[in-house]
Structure formats: structure tokens, C-alpha cells
Amino acid sequence: MKVAILGATGQNGTSIVNGLLASTKTRFDIAALVRPSSLKKPNVIELQSKGINIVSFNLDDPEDHLAAQLKGIDVLIVCCLIDEAILVNAAKKAGVKRYVPCFYATVMPRGIQTLRDTKETTLDHIQRLHLDYTVIDVGLWYQISLPRLPSGRIDRNLFLYNSAIGGSGDIPCARTDSRDVGRYVARIITDPRTLNQKLFAYTDLRTQHELYDTRTADEIDDGIARTKDDPYKMMDYYQFTYQKSYDIMGENTPDYARYLGYQISKDLYPDMEGISFEDFFEETLEHGLKPMHEEFADMLRGSSSFVFQGEAITK
Amino acid sequence: MKVAILGATGQNGTSIVNGLLASTKTRFDIAALVRPSSLKKPNVIELQSKGINIVSFNLDDPEDHLAAQLKGIDVLIVCCLIDEAILVNAAKKAGVKRYVPCFYATVMPRGIQTLRDTKETTLDHIQRLHLDYTVIDVGLWYQISLPRLPSGRIDRNLFLYNSAIGGSGDIPCARTDSRDVGRYVARIITDPRTLNQKLFAYTDLRTQHELYDTRTADEIDDGIARTKDDPYKMMDYYQFTYQKSYDIMGENTPDYARYLGYQISKDLYPDMEGISFEDFFEETLEHGLKPMHEEFADMLRGSSSFVFQGEAITK
């Protein structure tokens, strides 16, 4: 199966590349679509050494040129935040058999968060073209779910942690180890049952009540109102709206996902065990947290909700 | 089962009232929510004589008052084009167990037609409130699918006919007798499998190639561009966008509905036979077409795509 990935060097992209390479059920022929200016970057060279085809791919090229480059691709996976419209058009022209747009987040209805709505707008565009697709949401990564412990035991590499949880903290929320995202993707994109479906692939479902700070529903609504139209507060706005959705409304749950029409990974792949949160936490205690991909860390830097190691602990 | 209907005297509303009354599987306790100024209208009196509870219901009343009126209702069915937001809020507060918003049209993605997008926006609002719902689309009514015959044989009561079909006319399009809408609704709202689902309930699937005029895809696109922002051409705009969707894109089909995540009535109710298009046509030849409900006819009047008996035959 020929798979092309846009964003193969990011946090999700790396997980997906590893997940596809580790698959024993299907042999994947993987191409990474890389912008010309990044072809020489160390993480691209590293991809090449793993046997990934590196394809110079410029989203500013004409649609027909992109379509020609996508010819013969079975599955196109996008895991970076871009305007996907031209890519969707090119994929349709090229006859791509399954398009996986960039979702990979918590389950949420429309009208809560502009970032989410942009993703849904991409899906609308896909559906107007009658292009076959699969939407994959994975809940919250373990890697950004940890609080800072008073003992300091998990501070090593804990460059990012969640300094406040919303509401009472007793709303269940689905989470997945970032490294499992690719394993789920490898199963999902080879499964005819998931064609033209939304998939909710997650490992762990639990409340946040054992975590420290809480943030009331009113504080979250105030936060949304305060950050919504300020481009410099974008990450805070995303965090407040995510929190509203998963901590207050309880939308990042299999029940709500089913209500929205999702299929659930645990129903389709009961044999598949994701990394448990306990194992992840044990490992973090022992070895510290694996550093996150730089671009993602850069994006999150400046958010008052997430705090980075070495930076101020209080907001 | 306690059912309340808003719009019970319209074309769909009448079919739904009759469908619920005719049901042998479930006994429905039916309330018609009627605006105060319409309580004395003959068609409301007629509803009352059929055993329907008439409830004076004013959408301008405060939300809490509406919620109090909806207390105890199991299923709330809306079949008139209104801003449903306040009704959705009131239904949620009242604990309504299933909300059926006003869809009842052809299958279509977002971003093709403003009317459709407004319906989807209502669904977004429902989903943000986590209110249980069922969306029902029924394709095109037989009653507005007939061309005018040169012989004049079906002119009697053919107050409305389709004077142009789009494209090549060889795209399949799903149709249903308007009188069957209520029979489908009676099955669907008592079925746990349809909770929080989109349902495509239709009877007949065939192309339009036997019909007369055709309208090219370009003419349709021109028509959309010409009518889109003109409030006086609203019905033409709806007709062009419907045609673009069902005649050109072939979206009013079970295949495309499945692609969008719909369930299909023929899968769920294989025992249920809708009125066939042949029977409908035979009956029309013999007895003429039953007059349509006035409000609907009024709404369509002035469209250049539909032509009314007694008015100019050519545009």
C-alpha cells in the first residue's frame, strides 16, 4: 500500500511513520512530502535512513503539478496544520483512494473552537468533492497530560505540562500515548470499515480529579472571551476551548463520539492494546519524558496554560 | 409515545400526522404546536377532529415558558422552516428524548446551498447541547417530480411541475411520495437504531433521462451565481442548488448518503414498501394530483423552475 505523509517529521508524523514501519499486517511503501527548503534538515535525512522516500513537494505549485506528484498514492495522510483545500483538490484529481485530513485531536462539536471548525471545513470540502476519507481523532496525548509533581520526580524533560484542569475535574477524558497514534493509523487506513467514517482511537479514559489546580467553568468562559480575537493568545484560546469541551462538556469521550457518529477503535480492534497511562507514567518517572518535536513545542510556547521546563512555573 | 409537532398543517406535517395515526405498531399521543393566531384556522380545527391535541405555542415566549410546555414530550418534530435555536434550547431544558429538526430534503454536503447549511447549523447547535436527535431526509417528493405531458393528460391539479432537469438527466435521484413521509417517520422515531443518526428514507431511485428539457451544468452554475444574493430569487436559487446537487453531482442517492454517514431506510425496514412512482403516476393520470398545501405552494410560486397550473407554461 502506497502512503504519502505531509508533516512526517512532526509529533504525529513521526508516530505515524514508526507505526507504519512497525506494521506486520501490511507492508507500506511510504513517501514523505517535504517542502523544498526542508530537504536537507537532519530529521528529513533521518527519515530517509529509515527507508522513507523523500519527495520534494511545494504547496505553492499548481494543482495539476501536485496531482501528478500524488498519482498512484493509495492513502494521503496530512498531519500538519495547513490550508488543505489545494491538497484535497489535487488528491481528488490524482485518484487518491483515501484522504486522512489533519484532525488527531479531542472529540468536539462544531462552533466551540475555530481550530476545530477549520478542520470540519476541510471535511466539508472533501465531501463536496466526493473524495474518500477517514477522520481520526485520538483524544489528548499522555505527553501533554501530566501535572508537575511537588517532589520534582518527573521534571526531567517535562518541558510541557498541564497547569490547570477545568471545572470539577471529574469529567472523563480520553487519552492516548502519542507513540501509539501511528499504530492506530496503520490499522485504520487498511480497514475497509473505516472508509468515509470518523474514528475515535484512544487508549485511556479517566477523569482529572486527582490532578492539582482546577479552573472553574466561568474562568474558562472568561478565558475564551479574553483570548478569542487576539492572535497573540491563540494557544491560550485553543487550550481554553479544548478545556471547555473536554473538562466541562465531557465531549472527549467514547459516548459523545458515538453520539456524533464516530466509530470507536476499541470496538473495531479489541485485540489492540495501547500503551497504558500507568506504563507511560512509570516510564516517565524512571527515564523522564522524551522531548517533544521542536515545531510543536515552539507552537505551544507562550501559552499560559502549558508551562515549559525552565520557564516560570506560575503564570 | 408522546409526540409534539411544529408545522402539523403543512405538506410534511399532514403526512406525519397521518403516518403516526395510521401506525399499528405504536400508539402515539400527538400534540400540534400551533401559533396563537392560527388556532381558529380550518386546517387546525380539522386536526382537532382527528384527535390531535392543539397546543397554543408562541415561539416569541421566553425559553423557560416553552420548556414548561414541552415537559413530558418524548419526541419533538419540527417540519416548518424557522430559526430552531430557541426550540432546541427549550427541548433540552424540558428533557425531550428525541428532537427531529426540519430536514426532509435531498442528501447534500455542506457549502452547496444556504438553506441546507442553515439546517446543518441547527444540527451543530443540537450537538453542542448534547440533545438526542434524528435527522430525516426523504429525497425529492414525487409530487414535485412530474413534467407536463404534451397530451395534457396530467394537467388536472398539476399546479406544480418541474420544467427543467439538470445536466444529462442520467444521474440517479431518490424520490418518495409525500404521503409516505409520515409512515417513514412513524417507524424511525420509535427505533433505537436511529437515535443520533441521519436517516435517508426514500422509495424510488431513478434517473430523469426520460423527462423533457435539460439544463446544462454551466446553466445551473450561472443560475446559482445570478440568484444567490437576490432575496426575490430565493426559490430559484434553492432549485438551482438542489439541481446542482442531485442532477449534476448525484448526491441524492443512497451511495452518497452512506458516504456522508447516513443510515438507509431500506436497510432498516426491508419489509416496508413505499408507494411506487408507477402507482403514483397511474393515480395522477386517473384522478389528477392532490392539491398541495397552500403555504408550500405560496412559497414556490414565483420560481421560474417550477410552473403552476393556470400560469404561463414557458418561463
Q: How does pLDDT run across B180-234, given as a tens digit for each residue?
A: 999 999 999 999 989 999 989 888 887 766 444 567 778 888 888 888 888 778 7
Distances (CA, A) of A303 to A143, A234, A235, A253, A311: 16, 8, 5, 25, 11
C-alpha cell read off for B2: 408522546
- The cell numbers describing B168, all together, are 444529462
Compute the residue count for chain B. Answer: 315
| Residue entry with cell 507505526 | A19
C-alpha cell at B34: 400551533
When pLDDT is averaged across residues B253-275 and rounded to a whole number, the result is 78
Give the strands of the sheet with B173-176, arranged side by side: B140-141, B173-176, B204-206
List of E strands, chain A = 2-6, 29-34, 53-56, 75-78, 98-100, 134-137, 140-141, 161-162, 165-166, 173-176, 197-200, 204-206, 214-215, 263-264, 306-307
pLDDT over 50 (residue B309): no
pLDDT value, residue B254? 82
The radius of gyration computed from the CA coordinates of chain B, to the nearest angstrom, equals 19
| Min Cα–Cα distance to chain A from B165, Å | 21
Element (H, E) at B125: helix B114-128
Residue type at A311?
A: E
Of A47, A51, A58, nearest in space to A90 by CA: A58
Within a 10 A sphere around the Cβ of A231, how many other Cβ atoms?
7
Question: Do the Cβ atoms of A127 and B260 come within 8 Å?
Answer: yes
Mean pLDDT of chain B: 82
**Cα gap A154→A282, rounded to integer Å:** 10
- Name the strand (E) or helix (H) holding B3: strand B2-6
Using the Cβ of B93 and the Cβ atoms of chain A, whether some distance falls under 8 Å is answered with no
How far is residue A292's CA from residue B131's CA, in Å, rounded to a whole number? Answer: 38
Give the three-state DSSP class for A300: helix
Torsion of CA B146, B152, B153, B154, to 10 degrees: 30
**Pairwise CA distance, residues B302 & A204, whole Å:** 58
Helix (H, G, I), strand (E, B) or coil at B164: coil
In angstroms, the CA A305 to CA A234 distance is: 11
Residue B294 C-alpha, separation from nearest chain A C-alpha, in angstroms: 34
Residue of B nearest to A250 (CA): B130
B34 or B113, greater pLDDT: B34
Q: A114 and chain B: CB distance < 8 Å anywhere? A: no
Give the one of B110, B127, B128 whose C-beta lies nearest to A124's C-beta: B110
- Calpha distance B97→B133 (Å, rounded): 8
Residue B105 corresponds to which cell in the numbers above?
430534503
In terms of Cα–Cα distance, which of B43, B72, B38 is closest to B58? Answer: B38
Asked if B261 is an interface residue toward chain A (Cβ–Cβ < 8 A), one would say yes
- Give average pLDDT by consecutive 10-residue segment, chain A, 315 residues: 95 94 94 96 94 96 98 97 96 98 90 87 93 91 70 54 64 84 92 90 76 67 86 78 79 79 77 76 70 59 44 29
Maximum alpha-carbon separation in chain A: 57
How far is residue A100's CA from residue A188's CA, in Å, rounded to a whole number?
10
Q: Parallel, antiparallel, or unpaired for β A306-307 and A263-264?
A: unpaired
B residues 186-215 near A, CB within 8 Å? 196-198
Per-residue pLDDT, B75: 98
Helix (H) / strand (E) containing B31: strand B29-34
Per-residue model confidence (pLDDT) at position A286: 73
Torsion (CA) A276, A212, A248, A144 in degrees, nearest 10:
-50
Instruction: Beginning with the edge strand found earlier in the chain, give each strand of the sheet holding B29-34 in spatial order.
Output: B53-56, B29-34, B2-6, B75-78, B98-100
ipTM over 0.90: no
pLDDT at B294 over 80: no
Tell me the sheet residues that pair with B137.
Answer: B200
Evaluate if residue B113 carries a pLDDT over 90.
Answer: no
User: C-alpha grid cell for residue B47?
Assistant: 386536526
Asked whether A305 and A164 are in contact (CB, 8 A), the reply is yes
Altogether, the residues listed in chain A come to a count of: 315
Angstrom CA distances, A214 to A208, A243, B150, B209, stand at 9, 11, 74, 64
How far is it, in rounded angstroms, from Cα A185 to Cα A1?
13
Taking an 8 Å cut-off on Cβ atoms, the answer to whether B111 and A130 are in contact is no
Q: Give me the total of CB pairs closer than 8 Å, taking one residue from chain A and one from chain B.
A: 47
C-alpha cell at B136: 430525516
pLDDT score recorded for residue B305? 46
Q: Which is more confident, B172 or B58?
A: B58
Q: Minimal Cα–Cα distance from A1 to chain B, Å? A: 22
Distance CA B260, CA A197 (A): 8
Q: How does pLDDT run across B228-260, given as a tens digit for each residue?
A: 888 778 777 877 887 788 778 877 778 887 787
Residue in chain B lying closest to A256 (CA): B130
Half-sphere exposure of A132 (CA within 13 A, CB side): 16
Tell me which residues of B are annotated as active site. 119
Question: B126 or A150, which is more confident?
Answer: B126
Model pTM greater than 0.80? Answer: no
The strand pair at A173-176 and A204-206 is best described as antiparallel
The answer to whether A50 contacts chain B (CB < 8 Å) is: no
- B interface test, pick of A114, A200, A252, A259 with most B CB neighbours within 10 Å: A259
Closest CA to B173 of B184, B186, B162, B187: B162
Closest chain A residue to the Cα of B263, Cα to Cα:
A261
Beta strands in A35-125 (DSSP E): 53-56, 75-78, 98-100
Q: Are the C-beta atoms of residues A253 and A172 closer than 8 Å to each other?
A: yes
Chain B, window 122-181: residues with a beta carbon less than 8 angstroms from a chain A beta carbon: 124-125, 127-128, 130, 132
Q: How far is CA B200 from CA A122, A281, B261, in A?
A: 24, 47, 10
- Which residue in A83, A86, A119, A122 sits closest to A104, CA to CA? A119
What does the pLDDT read at residue A309? Answer: 35
- For residue A93, the SS3 value is helix
Alpha helices (runs of H) in chain A, residue ranges in sequence order: 11-22, 42-49, 63-70, 85-94, 114-128, 181-188, 217-227, 234-243, 254-259, 265-268, 277-287, 294-300
A302 to chain B nearest CA, in Å? Answer: 29
Q: In a 3-state reduction of DSSP, which class is residue B240?
A: helix
What local confidence, expressed as pLDDT, does residue B164 receive? 63
SS (H, E, C) A204-247: EEECCCCCCCEECHHHHHHHHHHHCCCHHHHHHHHHHHHHHHHH
Q: Which of A40, A41, A92, A119 is catalytic?
A: A119
DSSP B294: H
